[in-house]
Structure 1
Amino acid sequence: MKNIIKKITAKMGYQTDKKQILLLSDDWGSVRIKSKEDQADLIKKGYKVASRFDQFDSLETNEDLELLFEVLTKYKDHNGNHPCITAVTNVANPDFKKIKESDFQEYHYETIASTYLRYPDSDRVLNLTHEGIHNKIFIPQSHGREHVQVNWWMEELQNKDSFASKFFENEFFSLGEDYLLNPKRNRGIGASFDVWTYEDLINTKLIAKSSLEIFKALYSYNSKIFTPPAMFYNSIIEDEVVSLGVEWIDVGRVFKEPKIKGKESYQFNYLGKRRKSGIRVLVRNAIYETNMSSSDNGVAKCLNGIEQAFNLKQPAIISNHRASFVGGVTNKNRDKGLKSLDLLLKEIFKRWPDVEFIIATDWNV
């Protein structure tokens, strides 16, 4: 059924004879597991490490980027460009110190420029990112501001018996429904643009605006692509993000839009679909995740997705996460990710010598 839907939407959407690849890698900038020691402490406090993000994901370090760049610069496409990772980036994190000083009554955030300086071995990440931009190998695009629904998280923090309160000192907020006193629609709090009340709705608009203003201040260009965390958002933000330079909204082929009081509406999407706001829809059609299984590196599945996309005359828009390439919890995770990326790129250039890697800031469709 998924393949049938892919074929139908490919015919409806943007098509090209070019062999183009856009590799979207989510969650850069956001804090997750602070360290291996914090991971162990979370477990002691009652957290069950289940997902690969809880196992491996952490703020990127200087070394993470340096080693990633080494792999990317080994290769060039027929236009002379290196493979490029579109780094879907959260530009801020909660300011844990200020939130605590307010006795958990006020939300505050810090930009990732401050987060990188606070965290060990990440003090050069912002400079390295600018090098990546200059060399067109690592191009940030917007993932909103922070990766948490701030209203719902603050509500949890104001109850001292909540898991949110227990995990606060570990700077951990990625809580699923099982760890919330008051889950909304049986969902966690990672989708920062999720809504339940009218106040949530208005707040998403303010956060969308500030996220793109911070983005431009950090990188000196507007983000063309906007990927809401968890690909979940209410369309009230669209006019705001379009006015700030966004051209593409990155969501699922079948998209469920959240509305207040638990209401929802379904949308059917395809690549290039233009919405009332003028924004176009970006739909991912391939997957590259290196740590979904201990016995698999994700390469074969990704190559199959790329081949499918090319056969349907579409760019291969690959879904990936930072968790594939970071070693803050364990270097073994990063080593596996970089080795498999090298294998993937080698095979891509072997199969499709005329491949082009899309540079998000240069992409004109």
Structure 2
Amino acid sequence: MKLVTKLAKNYINFRGWKTNRKIVVIESDDWGSIRMSSKEALEKIAKVNPHILKSKFVQLDGLEKTQDLELLFEVLAKFRDCNGNQPVITALSLTSNPDFQKIKNSNFEYHSESITETYKKYGESKLIELWKNVGISSNLFYPQFHGKEHLHPERYISRIEDINDIEHQGFLNNSIIGGGVENSRVKNFMAAFEYHKEDDQRNIEMRTEEGLKDFETLFGFKSKSFCPSQSIYGEHLFEVLKNNGVHVIQSGQQFRPEKLSLKKIDHYWGDTTMNGLIFWRRNCTFETYKENRVDHVDECLKEIEIAFRWGKPAVINSHRINFTSRISSILRDKTLSDLEVLLKAILKKWPEVEFVNSQQLTEIILNQNQ
């Protein structure tokens, strides 16, 4: 670990809420969302737009398969903490995706579909039941709210209407590329909660409330925590979140929209909003899709050690891309192998460790604060 990284990790951990317990949480974003629809779609689009292959998310991220969850559950079920509990992935889930066919049929009017409909279209109709009957019931794969969909509908429509935009090619192949104009704030549609005008704020609030209600209908309980896409969000969301059962914002590093730019705001462990929402920070990383020269297990263990040194839970960030095989199974298989090594090392170094999901951590913090 580089010195500057080590200093930064210590800085974000030394302030705020503390606990004597050795708690490990694994938070993983993007579950349920469509990205690249298939390997064939990727090859077709890349044939005339090879630059899209610079993005690992375009190359490798796609809707999860039933087998992906089954193999992940097998790895997690091998381990037990000091309380006899298995490691658990908190799956930050979307509740909807764009309905490509309806959008085509309506001349680019936005329409969405529930993730259950998406799973059916992809031949994964058994996946949601596996998620509920094994993942949730055994506390191996526990959902929390990531948004209604992983996009800003109005901006998305403006991109796909333009036949010269790379996103139009993605749309024609039932895929979301999510790139091409990264430096343009008004055209970045992957940040679902970004706004630069008042109408955007109202639409975001409406979709957030709809998404939280859809989440409860889909999974049978309210989401107590929330992580916005790309950590971009504004304070106008706080009342909507609180009124719909959310207690914690996982993204303590906030990028607040201001005119056509973003302002970075650092919230520390235990910081609260005016209406009582609590912030925490993801302070560890296990992203196997990134730089191959990095020892992901060793780096994560060092970050966990720093978190524990300052009395913080180790909250590990690991996106869905690492665990899905829609485009290729190579990364998924490597991730599962590395995850097994990581969990074994954690238990060996800290036998008193406790594996909890984000909702359980929320309750721990709330109870300690009473």
Taking structure 2 as the reference length, what is the TM-score of the superposition?
A: 0.92
Q: For residue 91 of structure 2, what is the aligned residue in structure 1?
A: 87
Q: Deviations along 1:183-242, whole A, 9 cap, x unmatched?
A: 326x63211111122211111101111110111011001111111111111221110011
Shift in Å, 1:262:
2.0
Answer yes or no: is 1:76 the counterpart of 2:80. Answer: yes
Letter paired with 2:257? P
Partner residue of 1:188? 188
The answer on whether the counterparts of 1:256 and 1:264 sit within 8 Å (CA) in structure 2 is yes
Q: CA deviation at 1:6?
A: 4.1
Counterpart position of 1:355: 353
Distance 1:12 1:52, change over 3 A: same
Query: Of the candidates 266, 282, 288, which is equivalent to residue 290 of structure 1?
Result: 288
In the alignment, which residue of structure 2 is the partner of 1:141?
Answer: 144
Q: Distance in 2 between matches of 1:158 and 1:341?
A: 41
Which residue is equivalent to 2:163?
160
Mapped contact 1:45–1:166 kept (Cα < 8 A):
no
Gaps in structure 1 of 5+ consecutive residues: none
Which letter maps to 1:262? L
Q: What is the alpha-carbon distance in structure 2 between the residues aligned to residue 327 and residue 116 of structure 1?
A: 15
Q: 1:133 to 1:297 in 2, by over 3 A?
A: farther
| Gap runs ≥5 in structure 2 | 366-370
The CA deviation at 1:173 is 2.4
Which runs of structure 1 show a deviation greater than 6 angstroms over 4 or more consecutive aligned residues? Answer: none
Is the partner of 2:26 in helix, strand or coil?
A: strand
* Residues 284 and 314, structure 2, Cα contact 8 Å, conserved in 1: yes
Aligned residue in 1 for 2:228: 228
- Note if contact 1:297-1:336 (Cα within 8 Å) is conserved in structure 2: no
* DSSP-derived class of the 1:159 partner: coil
How many residue pairs get matched?
358
1:210-229 pair list within 5 angstroms: 210-229=210-229
Distance 2:35 2:160 in 1: 17
| Alignment partners' CA distance in 2, 1:175 and 1:136 | 32
Q: 1:94–1:108: 8 Å Cα contact kept in structure 2?
A: yes
Q: Using the TM superposition, give the Cα deviation of residue 295 of structure 1 relative to its aligned residue in structure 2, in angstroms.
A: 4.4
Cα distance in structure 1, aligned partners of 2:27 and 2:214: 20
Go from structure 1 to structure 2 and tell me whether the alpha carbon gap of 1:164 and 1:9 turns closer, same or farther (over 3 Å shift): closer
The answer to whether the 8 A contact 1:247-1:280 is kept is yes
Task: Tell me by how many angstroms 1:17 deviates.
Answer: 1.1
Tell which deviates more after alignment, 7-16 or 74-83.
7-16
Does structure 2 retain, via aligned residues, the 8 Å contact 1:271–1:281?
yes
TM superposition score normalised by structure 1 = 0.93
Name the aligned partner's letter for residue 232 of structure 1. Answer: I
Deviations 1:101-122 (A, max 9, x none): 1110x211101010001013x2
Contact 2:36/2:175 (<8 A) preserved: yes
Partner of 2:65: 61
Assess if the C-alpha contact under 8 Å between 2:81 and 2:352 holds in 1. Answer: yes
> Letter of the aligned partner of 2:216 in structure 1?
K
In 2, Cα distance between the equivalents of 1:170 and 1:119?
A: 14
Deviation at 1:358, TM superposition (A): 1.4
Structure 2 counterpart of 1:269, from 245, 267, 270: 267
Offset at residue 11 of structure 1 (A): 3.5
1:28 equivalenced with 2:31 (yes/no): yes
Could you tell me how far apart the structure 2 residues matched to 1:291 and 1:42 are? Answer: 21
Alignment match, 1:124: 126
The whole-number CA distance in structure 1 between the counterparts of 2:81 and 2:269 is 24
* 2:243 alignment partner in structure 1: 243
Cα offset, 1:2, TM superposition? 5.0
**Percent of aligned pairs sharing the same letter:** 34
Contact 2:225–2:359 (CA under 8 A) maintained in structure 1: no
Give how far 1:38 is off: 1.0
Deviations 1:88-107 (A, max 9, x none): 11111001111111110x21
How much does 1:348 deviate? 0.7
Give the Å deviation of 1:252.
4.3
* Structure-2 residue corresponding to 1:345: 343
State the Cα distance separating 1:360 from its structure 2 match.
2.6
**1:175 shift after superposition:** 2.0
Name which of 49, 52, 58 aligns with 2:56.
52
CA RMSD in angstroms comes to 1.8
